[in-house]
Structure 1
Amino acid sequence: MMLPISGLPVAPRPDFRWPGGRRMALWVAVGVESYRPDEGRTEDILPRSAAPDHVNAAWRAYGNRVGAMRLFERLSGAGIVPTVLLNTDVYDEAPEVIAAARRAGAEIVAHGLSNSDCLADMGAEEELAYLRRTRDRIAAEEGTAPRGWSSPWLAHGARTLPNLARAGFDILLDLRMDDRPVTLDTGAGPLLAVPYAAELNDSTTMIGRQVTARAFAGMIADEAEELLRNPDGPPVVMSVVLHSFIAGQPFRAGPVCDALAGLARRGSEIWCATPSRIADAWHGAG
């Protein structure tokens, strides 16, 4: 199935800006994840050992015990409302994280039941039921259904995009094919792909490529400078993707959150938002 792009957006109208006349919208994701012990897919800091793999399990558990709270505190102190990419098993395993996310005013984005799961391993009907189960759990816990979806492992099946529309999602947070939102025509309803950073992402970059936290902070600053270089250019979206057990580590949190706080202080140019607010502003520009 080809990616169903209904049209790459140029500025929706010549005078469009984000609220407050700003050129750039910034959203910051914090992945809050659950993994089944010694089963399915995992993110590891050391090569996975034989079960029971206590070292990697403890590294991931750090995020839900300490790292997420650290990131929420730092982001809130900078005036940035986090977007939580949530595995719903966390509701049962670490309710304190959910309480902290609510205190931070976070937008909850559906991220599956567990990060040991992968949509690419499911058939179409199983996948649709899984999407609905994830959405329904968040709706029951938060009182409002999530609009956004982000796939575990950024993986998709042949019917994922139409299934997301059928399951009631209208925002996809997996892709970056432009610096602006792009509407995907799924055949079952539109999805707005709000730019998601595959590289300004602590998992792919700080773990996958072993980039230091200070170098990652420099990448954040460089991206913002380039996106804002042309003051008369079209509106753009910048995203930064963090995970509680990666950027939430003490030696990483400081440089990364300081870089984000520096962007938040540029309030005349940068609108710190969440995916739903970005989608609403974008749709309202038509």
Structure 2
Amino acid sequence: MLLPHHGRYDYSAITRRPDYSWPDGKRLAVYFALNIEHFAYGAGVGHALSSELAPPDPRTFAWRDYGNRVGVWRLLELFDELGLPGCHLINTAVFDYCPDVLEPILARGDEIIGHGRTNAERQGQWWEADEARMLAEVRDAIARHGGRPPRGWMGPWMSQSRVTIDLLQEAGYAFAMDWPCDDQPVWLRTRNGRILSMPYSLEINDSPQILVRRHTGEEFAAMIVRQFEEMLRQSARQPLVLGIALHTMIVGQPHRLHALREALSHIVNHPGADRVWLARPGEIYDHCMTLPPGAIA
């Protein structure tokens, strides 16, 4: 029976793919994705810690805004403390609302990933021309404020229309992080070529785990450690990518930050660290481009 299919990639068992390694023979690439988001007041969609009130709901807006006023700074301090590279999934509304956030990111040499204009909107149901304009607007805003256009994209809420992947490739994006189908980078077909799918976990992600499934900060930190340990073991057979997705208003809260610090310290100080590549997604993409044809599924 033939079911409707997206046609972007074919089925591929990870156990039947060519073997390769990351730089210096490392087997597990780990990146840290910090979501830095800005929301409309009293309109649109957004993360919520508890039941939302009738608009304008200042308590929910203020809780989200804590991430930009406090949480992002605490998380950047933690990254500096542990010597971690970062990539930042930034709504371009941040550049106007809280431009101070950009300075330490650029000083660290971190990567900026396109993440829409605001997480108060999703583009999945837009007309194609409107979505194309937004992708170009985001690309150009990041180039203007960050010094170069982004190579990666993660849609607000991982939202996609039927042509998002086509539009991303046509707008010059090199990889997308919206398809959590694999632990290795894979190629996605577009109508004018291909774009790389970068693994981005819907599981090792504080938003669904803490806000939707109601796990505690300690439980989420334990998930990070267990995912890392198991993937490091599995990477003896295949090179893998572990993305750890964080949001400033969630793990930027002190009680959750405490647990997160222990989990990330576990990764940094692990006795098997010589097999681990702490990287940014763009660096993973660059290495994939050096591999022989057919190495990437």
TM-score by length of 1: 0.95
Asked if the contact 2:188/2:194 (under 8 Å) is kept, the reply is: yes
In structure 2, what is the equivalent of residue 56 of structure 1? 60
Partner of 1:84, secondary structure, is: strand
1:110 Cα deviation from its structure 2 partner: 0.5
**2:112 partner SS:** strand
Aligned structure 1 segments of 4 or more residues deviating by more than 6 angstroms? none
Q: Which residue of 2 aligns with 1:210?
A: 214
Q: Percent identity?
A: 33
* Residue 102 of structure 1: how far off its partner (Å): 1.9
Q: How far off is 1:261 after superposition?
A: 2.3
> In structure 1, how many angstroms separate the alpha carbons of the residues matched to 2:64 and 2:7?
33
Cα distance, 1:264 vs. partner?
2.2
Please tell me whether the aligned partners of residues 9 and 180 of structure 1 are also in contact (alpha carbons under 8 angstroms). no
Q: Residue in 2 aligned with 1:98?
A: 102
Hey, what does 1:69 align to over in structure 2?
Answer: 73
1:193 partnered with 2:201: no
How far apart, CA to CA, are the structure 1 residues paired with 2:12 and 2:289? 14
Q: 1:160 aligns with which of 164, 168, 172?
A: 164
Which residue number in structure 2 is paired with residue 180 of structure 1?
Answer: 184
> How far apart are 1:66 and its partner, in Å?
0.7
Are the counterparts in 2 of residues 162 and 188 from structure 1 also a CA contact under 8 Å? yes
**Structure 1 residue matching 2:143: 3-state secondary structure:** helix
C-alpha separation in 1, matches of 2:151 and 2:10 = 20
Q: 1:155 to 1:3 in 2, by over 3 A?
A: farther
* Aligned pairs for 1:2-21 within 5 A: 2-5=6-9, 8=12, 13-14=18-19, 16-21=20-25
| Amino acid across the alignment from 1:141 | H
Structure 1 residue identity aligned to 2:181: M
Unaligned runs of at least 5 residues, structure 2: 293-297
**2:126 counterpart of 1:110:** no
Q: How many residue pairs were aligned?
A: 285
> Structure 2: how far apart are the matches of 1:110 and 1:144?
12
Residue in structure 1 matched with residue 232 of structure 2 by the alignment = 228
Deviations 1:71-91 (A, max 9, x none): 111022212111100000000
Q: Indicate if the aligned counterparts of 2:30 and 2:276 stay in contact, CA closer than 8 A.
A: yes
Q: What's the CA shift string for 1:123-170, capped at 9, x where partnerless?
A: 111101110000000011112100000000111111111011111111
Q: Would the aligned equivalents of 1:175 and 1:198 in 2 still touch at CA under 8 Å? A: no
Letter paired with 1:239: G
Supply the distance in 1 between the matched residues of 2:13 and 2:110 (Cα, whole angstroms).
28
Matched, 1:240 2:253: no
Cα gap change, 1:232 to 1:45, in 2 (>3 Å) = closer
Letter in 1 for 2:96: D
Which ranges in structure 1 are unaligned for 5 or more consecutive residues?
none
The match for 2:133 is 129
